[in-house]
Amino acid sequence: MACELAAVRTATLAVRDWLAEKGLPEMELGGWELALAEAANNAVKYANARGRQQPVTIEVLWGEREIEARITDHTAGFDWPDKAELPDVDAESGRGLFLIQSLTDEVVYLRHRDQNILILRRARPPGVAEPLPNVRQLQSQLADTEAALADMTAELSSSYESLVALFRYSSELGAHASLKDFSQRLLKDLMQITEADRAVLRLVSPDGKKLEPLLLLPDDQQFTLKPIRLAGAPASVEISAARKQQDIWFSPEEPLAGDDPLRAAIPTGNGICHPFFVANQLVGTATLARSGEDKPFAAAQVNLLHSFIDFLAIQIVNARLLDERTSAQITRRELEIAANIQHSLLPMKIPACPPFEMSAAYQSALQVGGDFYDIIPAGDGSLLLVIADVMGKGVPAALFAAVLRSTLRSMPQLFNQPAELMATANRILFPDLTRVDMFVTALVACLDPHRRKLLAANAGHCPILLWQPGMAQAVAYGESGFPLGIEPLTRYLQTEIDLPPGASMLLYTDGLSETRNAAGELLGEEKLIQIFTQAATQTSDTASGKQFLLTRLNDFRNQAPMTDDQTLVFIRHTA
């Protein structure tokens, strides 16, 4: 629904009608309608100017035992009370929270910087059976499903084209002497994809004191932008975005200030200014705008802006490496920055997934490597676990690791189907991997805390090591298919693993099992299984288990240099 009070009634009635079709009694229907109306009214009432440009979403899930509603808003959020008390008669607020808690069995409020989700749950009344759909309903559902699949295919195709373009830019960068020409092609592609009609790109000056204009598009405008000092320009949206390290939106309701340097290039319309950084150092700002007053940017288009400009930041680092390769000290420094970028792609914090706990480690044999892992919330408390190893080392491998990360994250609808997710990623990446004669081994798994299971698909990667109470030694799990980039239409088997209390698992790259000591001896998988069994049985948590593994690997290597990247994710069922 649109973020306006007039839309609340229509939306809640639509939910009521849908629940009525399911056979919910009249009293239950009234309770749900009132609770959702209170929640949606609050979502509209407390939305800020940016939030009012985005929809309020109401999702209703009809489960086997309960009904769950999720209301997503874009307000500043607040601290939900453990128990909402009925306010005094003279009070002007507070009754909505009391009504919502009174009309539901459980309330969960998830607060986030960009959006908040209010979850309401109530048990299904006994005796309410699922209505059997008729042929017309089934035909309608089939048509809706086909339309949804077509939309997802179009979105995936758009994401794929964007990723392919970015990778091609990176492979072409060395052949272009001008960073401006390269940036102009990238920015024009971004404008076309996001339907923007104006763009401004500024980069930090070499002395770090100014934001200097690099591009102003379209380039037929009859004026030029001047540099702005980072220490001044209080009315500048670009300086404000850089200082706050966050996007700043402007619109006809909240226009640019009259003395803002951007005002000459973007006098009216909707826009967003995005600051971008490398290793926490400001690189520049990118601003997109539309002259139409009724066309704010959608969330997917903002994500594309972030992806393109973040990749541009990497390319800027690469361009500096190429320009300064004659200096060994400067080259070393730039590789450190590239390593920082790669580390920034790794999860900063592992999401909670009780009753499971996790700990992860990553070590590169060089400053920049091809190993990669990711841990992503997959909905309903589940997590998507990814661990991969790109053939080779250095910047090319790191770039493909970044492309793989973006590809997998662009398909959240497949997070609970690891085999299909792996097959789709393979089809997307196959042409580019083949073109440069590279491949990727990967393991994708969905950790389900409710069923206490792990669903996994393996593309030529190391097996999962599993230890359960009562086992004398851990075992290797999972059949492997072709690595990504070998066959375009590979189908992958999906392995389901039960994880009872006390069970431990290890996801790892071959840098662990292929560790060599100074004499050239290989650790091997059997020895790694023995070490993991000891870690699972002799440590009390995943942090100490991870450290146990790393210590034993270092002891075996005994001062010999690392020959391959080492990445691991240690998981334990703590209940």
pLDDT tens string 84-110: 777 665 555 667 788 888 888 899 999
Same domain, yes or no: 432 and 488 = yes
Same domain, yes or no: 468 and 390 = yes
Q: What is the CATH number of the domain that holds 395?
A: 3.60.40.10
- 496, pLDDT greater than 90: yes
Give a yes or no: residue 472 inside a domain: yes
* β-bridge partners, 447: 383, 454
Rounded CA separation 193/244 (Å): 27
Write out pLDDT tens, residues 30-44.
889 999 999 999 899
Give a yes or no: residue 415 inside a domain: yes
CB 182 within 8 A of CB 171: no
Share of residues in the chain with pLDDT > 90 (%): 46
Dihedral over alpha carbons 258, 260, 264, 266 (to 10 degrees) = -100
pLDDT, averaged across the chain: 85
Same domain, yes or no: 245 and 370 = no
Same domain, yes or no: 469 and 530 = yes
Share of residues in the chain with pLDDT > 70 (%): 84
Q: What is the CATH number of the domain that holds 97?
A: 3.30.565.10
Chain centroid offset of residue 549 CA = 29
Q: Packing angle between helix 394-409 and helix 328-345, nearest 10 degrees? A: 20
H and E: helices and strands count for the chain: 13, 21
SS3 of 487-539: the string is CCCCCCCCEEEECCCCCEEEEECHHHHCCECCCCCECCHHHHHHHHHHHHHHC
Identify the CA nearest to 110 among candidates 81, 82, 69, 77.
Answer: 77
CB 396 within 8 A of CB 438: yes
Same domain, yes or no: 200 and 84 = no
Give a yes or no: residue 410 inside a domain: yes
pLDDT at 558: 87
Give a yes or no: residue 149 inside a domain: no
Q: What is the CATH number of the domain that holds 278?
A: 3.30.450.40
Q: For the residues 485-490, what does the mean pLDDT come to?
A: 93
Q: Is 72 exposed, middle or buried (0-12, 13-18, 19+ CB in 10 A)?
A: middle
Domain extent at residue 43: 6-131
Give a yes or no: residue 37 inside a domain: yes
Report which residue type is found at 546. K
Give a yes or no: residue 310 inside a domain: yes
pLDDT at 366: 67
Same domain, yes or no: 287 and 386 = no
Same domain, yes or no: 450 and 566 = yes
Which residues touch 424 (CB under 8 Å, ≥6 apart)?
Answer: 156, 411, 414
Write out pLDDT tens, residues 52-93.
899 999 999 998 889 999 999 998 888 888 777 776 655 556
> Which of 329, 357, 386 is the last residue before a domain boundary?
329
Q: Between 308 and 360, where is the model more confident?
A: 360
Lowest mean pLDDT among 135-139, 241-245, 322-326, 556-560: 322-326
Q: In what order do the strands lie in the sheet containing 116-123?
A: 57-62, 66-73, 116-123, 106-110
CB 246 within 8 A of CB 302: no
Same domain, yes or no: 203 and 127 = no
Token output for 325: 């390769």
pTM equals 0.46
Using DSSP bridges, classify how beta strands 382-390 and 440-448 pair: parallel, antiparallel or unpaired.
Answer: antiparallel
Q: For the residues 177-206, what does the mean pLDDT come to?
A: 86
pLDDT at 103: 86
pLDDT at 91: 56
pLDDT at 393: 66
Token output for 464: 């999962």
Kindly list the distances between the CA atom of residue 218 and the CA atoms of 7, 191, 270, 383, in Å, as whole numbers in the listed order.
38, 10, 16, 43
> Which of 329, 363, 380 is the last residue before a domain boundary?
329
Chain centroid offset of residue 412 CA = 9
Same domain, yes or no: 367 and 480 = yes
Dihedral over alpha carbons 293, 295, 296, 298 (to 10 degrees) = 180
Same domain, yes or no: 72 and 214 = no
pLDDT at 330: 45
Write out pLDDT tens, residues 390-417.
887 667 777 788 888 889 999 999 999 9
CB 245 within 8 A of CB 213: no
pLDDT at 264: 84
pLDDT at 134: 66
Give a yes or no: residue 536 inside a domain: yes
CB 400 within 8 A of CB 433: yes
Give a yes or no: residue 542 inside a domain: yes
Same domain, yes or no: 115 and 170 = no
pLDDT-based confidence at residue 331 (cuts at 50, 70, 90) = very low
Identify the CA nearest to 236 among candidates 280, 285, 196.
Answer: 285
> Which of 131, 150, 180 is the last residue before a domain boundary?
131
Same domain, yes or no: 459 and 362 = yes
pLDDT at 328: 47
Domain count, the chain: 3
